Amino acid sequence: MTADTGTRGVCPRCRHPLVSEPRTLAWCPDCEWKLAAYDPLRMASDWGWRPLDRLLHRLAYRLDARSFRRLAGRPPGRSGNLAGRVLLLAVSVPFLLAAPACLVLGGYLFVAGLGLAPVLGVLLVLFAVLIRPRAPRLPRRFRLVDPARAPAFVGLVEQVAAACAAPVPQLIAVDASLNAASMLVGVRRRRVLAIGLPLWAALPPGQRVALLAHELGHFVNHDSRRGLLTGPAFTTLARLVDVLQSVARRGGYLFTLPYLVLGWLFWLGYVLLLVTGLRDGQRAEYFADDIAADVAGSAAAADLFDTLAVLEPVTRTVRDGGRDRASVATWRDAARYVRRDLAERMEISRQRSIREEASLLASHPPAGLRSRMARSRPHREPRVTLTDALAGQIDAELAPWYRQLDEAGGGWL
């Protein structure tokens, strides 16, 4: 990563040297000129058509920036904007009513219809089955943690939950991803805390507390994307778009016209739902981040978001190093090396994440904006601390799950 000082490497707006990297669109690190540009060389296609990817990336970038400006320097608030929630419900409810409506109409046409009506009735019934709301399930890649075999880890989760004023998760799960999540699964909506073991290993103790506090904060941050009425609409429309795209690809010309009509109709509904939900979703994420800063301290929370911004080079370091990927030490040492190597250029990594993580499909604001948001608020000292000794004890407790996932082909990278 270098600052190009040649004639073509100077910002036309502020005359500051641009940041340039191989196969990457340059931008100005000072005034952030061209930071909003879509970079097809580094960013995967979300929608399968570059012009559309470019357009929706620009929209997502602007929505990210607007949410950040609206919330920077002040608490994000426990509840979202009422008008926004009403609009989200207005978009979600019709899609939730579509399944029972298609089922009733399809059944009527099948029983009482004439000619081709019964065939249409069967198709409507099958469509109703396809788009029916479903209770989220725990993904198969997760392994449940037995509390009796990890008392120190479970005790830390309970301590952080109490500090967050959040309910204790009913299940704790781990997987082999560089990620973490909290979710409500099943008809009874059981609370699940899921931790990616490589991410856990890569974090120092203070950032581990911040990670737990953020995820547990989702149980009290009133995220409309998890609502009983609004949550299923997101998954239903996403599933519809995927199915229609798959059918169009496999069916050729026979399904081209139905896809152009139905596919784009559902796709536009999905985008509208994403745009509508993004504002409250980002408010909820920033609120969970604020809980993390309150429990783990401002410094640990901000440092966590910086670590999230450099996970790509951490993964690359592990992959190229040829070391045991199921080892806590491997991920810890790789993250420590990357953080030290990029310490003086962390703002560049934050800016890169702001560009590359701008997406309507992203569940979180870009890590760079989350780091800036944490630093824009008053400093807070940690209320829950994790000592090195206790962190080591927890790593020893979780070691069997690292091996279990590795032997099961957990896909560490």
Measured CA to CA, the distance from residue 95 to residue 230 in angstroms comes to 10
- 196 pLDDT band, cuts 50/70/90, is very high
Amino acid 81: pLDDT: 60
Pairing of strands 190-196, 171-175: parallel
DSSP string, 132-195: --------TT-EE--GGG-HHHHHHHHHHHHHHT-PPPSEEEEESSS-EEEEEETTTTEEEEEE
Measured CA to CA, the distance from residue 180 to residue 193 in angstroms comes to 8
Contact status, residue 69 vs residue 63, Cβ threshold 8 Å: no
Tokens standing for residue 118 = 């019964």
pLDDT at 41 over 60: yes
Mean pLDDT of 296-301: 96
Mean pLDDT of 219-234: 74
CA 350 from centroid of its chain's CA atoms: 17
Mean pLDDT of 166-189: 91
Measured CA to CA, the distance from residue 181 to residue 217 in angstroms comes to 11
- 57 pLDDT band, cuts 50/70/90, is very high
Angle between the N-to-C axes of helices 264-296 and 205-217, in degrees from 0 to 180, rounded to the nearest 10: 130
Percentage above 90 pLDDT, the chain:
46
Among the ranges given (66-75, 153-162, 346-355), the one the predictor scored with the smallest mean pLDDT: 66-75
pLDDT at 253 over 70: no
User: What count of other Cβ atoms lies within 10 Å of the Cβ of residue 67?
Assistant: 22
pLDDT at 304 over 50: yes
Q: Which of 116-120, 209-213, 229-233, 344-348 has the highest mean pLDDT?
A: 209-213
Contact status, residue 157 vs residue 178, Cβ threshold 8 Å: no
Let me know the angle formed at the C-alpha of 168 by 365 and 384, rounded to the nearest 5 degrees: 70
Mean pLDDT of 195-207: 95
CA 73 from centroid of its chain's CA atoms: 23
Contact status, residue 182 vs residue 219, Cβ threshold 8 Å: yes
Tokens standing for residue 155 = 């005790």
pLDDT tens-digit map of 270-286: 777 777 777 778 888 99
Q: Within 13 Å, how many C-alpha atoms sit on residue 346's CB side?
A: 17
Measured CA to CA, the distance from residue 377 to residue 315 in angstroms comes to 31
8-state DSSP, 217? H
